[in-house]
Structure formats: structure tokens, C-alpha cells
Amino acid sequence: MAFYNKPFSFFLSNLILSCFASVCLISSSEKTKNSGVTIDLIHRDSPLSPFYDSSITQFEQLRNSFRRSLLRQSFLKTVHSRSTLESPEAPLTPIVGEYLMKINIGTPPVEVVAVADTGSDLTWTQCTPCPECYKQKAPLFEPRKSKTYTNISCSSQQCQDLDYVYTDCDDKNVCVYDTTYGDSSTSRKDLALETFTFDENVTFPNVVFGCGHDNYGTFKETASGIIGLGGGRVSIVKQLEKSIGGRFSYCLTTLDSNASSKISFGPNAIVKGPKVLSTPLVKKSLDTFYYLTLEAISIGNKRLEHNLFSKAPVQEGNIIIDSGTTLTLLPQSFYNKLESTLVKAINATPMSNPQGTSKLCYKLPTNGKFNSPPIIAHFKGTDLVLPQENTFVEVEKGVVCLTLVPSDNISIFGNLHQVNYLIGYDLENGKLNFLPTDCSKPK
Ligand SMILES: *[C@@H]1O[C@H](CO)[C@@H](O)[C@H](O)[C@H]1NC(C)=O
Ligand SMILES: *[C@@H]1O[C@H](CO)[C@@H](O)[C@H](O)[C@H]1NC(C)=O
Ligand SMILES: *[C@@H]1O[C@H](CO)[C@@H](O)[C@H](O)[C@H]1NC(C)=O
Ligand SMILES: *[C@@H]1O[C@H](CO)[C@@H](O)[C@H](O)[C@H]1NC(C)=O
């Protein structure tokens, strides 16, 4: 189902079909070339990222990402609870995530490096003229220089469809969006349509986005905006639903890998085969987040139920899968059980935590090999072995800490535990598919 009745183009490896009217005719031989699109997902701390700071050690990078995890979860929680209260206040959007994507906007195309965010819907970039912009390294997007830029009027459906984003109308009847992030950073101004180009040649006309002429707060100097990959109506994934079949996938590499993580849309994002592990995506009132159902976690062969004190089935959709949160956050009581089970199973020297975020730390043995029992997440319908090298990580020379932490707020399945799985979001069938994959190897 298309929320915006607009033309779309198909993916073709060597040829672009521009489609006029709402239908593209395409012959079956051409269709076989239709493979979708795959681009790099750049970790914000990788040397390829504009955020990269060579003066920061890997340990510091990791600890910073842990801190961002906690900030992000407290804001995800705010959004989550506000949406259920249906508060009339302008909603908050979580602070930005951990991965960046390069796309091109406009005609002629201009490169934009923006945060890929599975926790928000609206895509926006900084635009000229900009009375209030934060500094960015790349030039600002100039709507006046693009042939395909169109403002969206207040009466249009697209202006009404901005769930969880506050909208207003300016004196020229242009729809104005106003999105406030968890830390009160703000981006606002004109809601518009533009042509988006992925990987040089894959073009999507008339994508709704925010042209931010008024942006301030703690956005870093170097990313030009946000690409909304949430499940809500205005997210890129939903807007391009017809062309990409409601599918995107990503494959995250380990932090020390020199290979880039990847994100795919459309046919490239189909995750299938006998080894695929599949769990339902649960729909909730807030459709921005991707909810899964976590039934239990096993430590070695000891299974711990999520519902500790009741035999009732777990609440469906009790955990959010998010690429923009590094740690996995679990309810305090469940975490406590998990921690005490781990403590019994691990034979190593406990250490007090040097940085405060993780609760369980050990001295790294001199041979550099820390042994912990395998941790398995039992999602509804499938069991996922958490990447062992990422359940305890070295946060300081010689100290490893557990990357699952307690949260009073909201449960999140973080990106460290998604590494080396090809993860396919299939919105059409309401499924999340995991395929164990060495994400550093080209497909
Ligand atoms: C879009 O709207 C803004 C604000 O009303 C206006 O300044 C700008 O000229 C408009 N751009 C186009 C291309 O119509
Ligand atoms: C885009 O198309 C041009 C011309 O066909 C081709 O040379 C180039 O390699 C393509 N780029 C990508 C990333 O496929
Ligand atoms: C990544 O590259 C660096 C420098 O070229 C090298 O020292 C390191 O071993 C590489 N890491 C991996 C995991 O291949
Ligand atoms: C929950 O969120 C609040 C802010 O909303 C924060 O102060 C608190 O530390 C969070 N609790 C945990 C366990 O992270």
C-alpha cells in the first residue's frame, strides 16, 4: 500500500527507468536485473566517518557509545510513553544513532551524509538559506539550485501524515515541520518533496523530507541530517514501500573490522534460505519502532524466562530492535537474574567497573581470551546466539565488561548483538529475519 500516491522507479543495474504516472511498465527480462540497492553503513567512529576523531582511543569510543545508549534509551522511553498517552505536546525524537549513510538529494544530485536512524521516521537535511544551522563540513543543500525541489502545501495529505512530528503553516501556505530531539536539539522549517538517489544510479522521485532552515542543539558538526528508517508513515522505508517491497536489511561488521557495514533496500534486502532465523515484528500503537518478543535468555544451558515471577506468556513486543543503540538493555529484575547466573558460570577475577555503564566486569586473562558461556536470546519462534566477542568487550586495557545492562525504562536489543547477522526487515510480512553471516565478506 502506498501512502503517497506518487511515481516511483524500479531498480535496474545499468539503466534507470523514470516512471511517469503511478505505473512503470517493465519487461520481464529487465525485471531480472532488478536487484535493489546496497550501500555502505558507516559507523560513526570509523575512519570513513566525518565524526572520526583520531585522538580518541577505541576504548573511549566504546565507552562514549555506551553512554549514548543510555541517553538514547531514556528518550526512546519518553517517545514511547508519550505516544501511549497521546499527549498534545510536540513529540520528542530520540537522539541520533551510531551509523551514517551517504545519499544524494536533488537534481543535480548533492551528496548528503546523514545518520541512518531506525528509531525515527522523518528524513531531513540542513538547507540554505540557514539563519540558524549547526556547523557541518559538507556544503548545505541548496533547494533553489535543484530542479526537482517542491514545497509541500499545508492542505496536502503529506502534511497531515507527519505522525509524531509537530507541523505548522507559514504565511506562504508551506507546511512547516518541527522536530525536537531528546536532548532538545531541534530541526524545523519546510516540508518538501525531492528526488533521492542511492548509490549514484537508483533514483526515487518525490520523497517527502524536511528542508531544515532552522536547526540547533547538539547535532555534531559533520552529519548533514537524519535518514528516518523507522516503521512510521513518513519514513523512507514506508515511502518507498512500493519500490522496495517493504524490505530493507543491514549487516553490521565487528568494530575492529576494516570492512564497512552494509544496508540494502528492495530485492537485495530479501533474507532467505534454510539457515534463516525468523521472528515476528510486533505492531504497537507507535509504529516508528520495531518491536520483537523476547521470551527468555539462556546462559549456557540454563534458560531464564523473561517473566520471572509469573507463568503468564510474555508481553508481545517487549523489546525494540535498534541499530542506533550499542548496548542491549533489559528490565532490572530480569537482568539481575541473568547477572547472578553469569557470575556463577564465569571463572575470572571480577573488577570494579572503570566507567560506570556496565555492571559486570572482569580482568582480561593475560592470554587475551575471556571465556564466558554462550548467551542465547530466545525470541518468539527463534533462538539467536549473541556474538560471543561482543557480549563481553574490552572497555579499558585488560578489563572486559558485559554489554547487556539493566534498564528501568525500556528494553532495547542493541547493535553489538546484531553484528555478523544479516538482518532483514520484512514489513510486508511482519517478520524480522536473521541470517548468520560474516558481514566483512562481500556478498
Ligand atoms: C518554499 O517555501 C519557502 C518558505 O515559504 C520559500 O521561502 C521558498 O521560496 C519556497 N521554495 C520554492 C522552490 O517554492
Ligand atoms: C552508474 O551508472 C554509470 C553509467 O551507466 C556507471 O558508469 C556507474 O558505474 C554506475 N554507478 C554505480 C554505483 O553503479
Ligand atoms: C585493519 O587494518 C589495519 C591497518 O591496515 C590492520 O592493522 C588491522 O589488522 C586490520 N584489521 C582487520 C580485522 O583486518
Ligand atoms: C531511565 O530514564 C531516566 C530519564 O528519563 C534516567 O534518568 C534513568 O537513569 C533511566 N534509568 C536507567 C536504569 O537507565
Mean pLDDT for all residues in the chain: 83
Ligand that lies nearest to the alpha carbon of residue 15, given by its number in the listed order: 2
199 within ligand 2 shell (Cβ under 6 A): yes
Ligand 2 centroid vs 110 CA: distance in angstroms?
16
Residue 354 pLDDT level (bands cut at 50, 70, 90)? low
Same structural domain for residues 156 and 78?
Answer: yes
pLDDT > 90 in the chain, percent? 44
Question: How big is the chain, counted in residues?
Answer: 443
Q: What pLDDT shows up at residue 409? A: 65
Q: Which range is most confident: 37-51, 134-148, 302-316, 423-437?
A: 423-437
Residue 10 pLDDT level (bands cut at 50, 70, 90)? very low
Domain count, the chain: 2
Which residue lies with its CA nearest to atom 13 of ligand 3? 257
Same structural domain for residues 156 and 187?
Answer: yes
Pocket of ligand 3 (CB under 6 A): 256-258
Mean pLDDT value across residues 92-102: 76
249 within ligand 4 shell (Cβ under 6 A): no
84 pLDDT higher than 70: no
Residue 28 covered by a domain: no
pLDDT > 70 in the chain, percent? 84
Same structural domain for residues 240 and 357?
Answer: no
Q: What pLDDT shows up at residue 92? A: 54
Q: What pLDDT shows up at residue 7? A: 33
Q: Which residue has the higher pLDDT, 81 or 359?
A: 359
Q: What is the 3-state secondary structure (H, E, C) of the chain?
A: CCCCCCCCCCCCCCCCCCCCCCCCCCCHHHHCCCCCEEEEEEECCCCCCCCCCCCCCHHHHHHHHHHHHHHHHHHHHHHHHHHHHCCCCCCEECCCCCEEEEEEECCCCEEEEEEEECCCCCCEEEECCCCECCCCCCCCECHHHCCCCEECECCCHHHHCCCCCEEEECCCCEEEEEEEECCCCEEEEEEEEEEEEECCCEEEEEEEEEEEEEEECCCCCCCCEEEECCCCCCCHHHHCHHHHCCEEEEECCCCCCCCCEEEEEHHHHCCCCCCCEEEECECCCCCCCEEECEEEEEECCEEEECCCCCCCCCCCCCEEECCCCCCEEEEHHHHHHHHHHHHHHCCCCEECCCCCCCCCEEECCCCCCCCCCCEEEEECCEEEECCHHHCEEEEECCEEEECEEEECCCCEECHHHHCCEEEEEECCCCEEEEEECCCCCCC
Residue 29 pLDDT level (bands cut at 50, 70, 90)? very low
146 pLDDT higher than 90: yes
34 pLDDT higher than 90: no
Q: What pLDDT shows up at residue 443? A: 67
Ligand 1 centroid vs 203 CA: distance in angstroms?
24
Which residue lies with its CA nearest to atom 2 of ligand 3? 258
What CATH number is associated with residue 174? 2.40.70.10
Catalytically annotated residue among 117, 121, 190, 426: 117
Residue 51 covered by a domain: yes
Q: Which residue has the higher pLDDT, 223 or 377?
A: 377
- Show which of 228, 263, 298 is a domain's final residue: 263
Residue 111 covered by a domain: yes
121 within ligand 1 shell (Cβ under 6 A): no
Same structural domain for residues 284 and 366?
Answer: yes
32 pLDDT higher than 60: no
- Show which of 263, 283, 305 is a domain's final residue: 263
C-alpha cell of residue 269: 534486502
174 within ligand 1 shell (Cβ under 6 A): yes
What tens digit of pLDDT does each residue of 190-210 get?
999 999 999 888 889 999 999
151 pLDDT higher than 60: yes
Which residue lies with its CA nearest to atom 7 of ligand 2? 14
407 within ligand 4 shell (Cβ under 6 A): yes
Substitution candidate for ligand 3 out of 48, 58, 258 with most atoms within 8 A of CB:
258
Q: Which atom of ligand 2 has the smallest separation from the CA of 199?
A: 13
Lowest mean pLDDT among 25-34, 211-220, 245-254, 324-333: 25-34
Q: Which atom of ligand 4 has the smallest separation from the CA of 78?
A: 5
Q: Which residues are CB-neighbours of 96 under 8 A, at least 6 positions away?
A: 115, 117, 181, 219, 223, 226, 324
Q: Is 322 a catalytic residue?
A: yes
Q: Which range is most confident: 64-73, 368-377, 407-416?
A: 368-377
Q: What pLDDT shows up at residue 78? A: 63
Q: Which residues form the domain of 395?
A: 273-436
Ligand 4 centroid vs 74 CA: distance in angstroms?
5
Q: What pLDDT shows up at residue 220? A: 67
Same structural domain for residues 108 and 169?
Answer: yes
Residue 10 covered by a domain: no
27 pLDDT higher than 50: no
Place of cell 566477542: 389
Q: What pLDDT shows up at residue 408? A: 75
Same structural domain for residues 236 and 318?
Answer: no
Substitution candidate for ligand 1 out of 149, 151, 194 with most atoms within 8 A of CB:
151
215 pLDDT higher than 90: no
Same structural domain for residues 240 and 287?
Answer: no
C-alpha cell of residue 51: 565524526
193 within ligand 1 shell (Cβ under 6 A): no
Same structural domain for residues 251 and 295?
Answer: no
46 pLDDT higher than 90: no
Mean pLDDT value across residues 46-68: 86
pTM to 2 decimal places: 0.85
Closest CA to 116 of 66, 42, 203, 5: 42
23 pLDDT higher than 70: no
Residue 69 covered by a domain: yes
Residue 26 covered by a domain: no
Same structural domain for residues 360 and 258?
Answer: no
Catalytically annotated residue among 45, 121, 287, 322: 322
- Show which of 263, 292, 320 is a domain's final residue: 263
Q: What pLDDT shows up at residue 134? A: 79
Residue 12 pLDDT level (bands cut at 50, 70, 90)? very low
Same structural domain for residues 236 and 285?
Answer: no
Q: What pLDDT shows up at residue 33? A: 40
Q: Is 117 a catalytic residue?
A: yes
Same structural domain for residues 278 and 249?
Answer: no
Residue 79 pLDDT level (bands cut at 50, 70, 90)? low
Residue 24 covered by a domain: no
Lowest mean pLDDT among 76-80, 129-133, 179-183, 310-314: 76-80
Residue 351 covered by a domain: yes
Residue 24 pLDDT level (bands cut at 50, 70, 90)? very low
Q: What pLDDT shows up at residue 410? A: 82
409 within ligand 4 shell (Cβ under 6 A): yes
Same structural domain for residues 58 and 96?
Answer: yes
151 within ligand 1 shell (Cβ under 6 A): yes
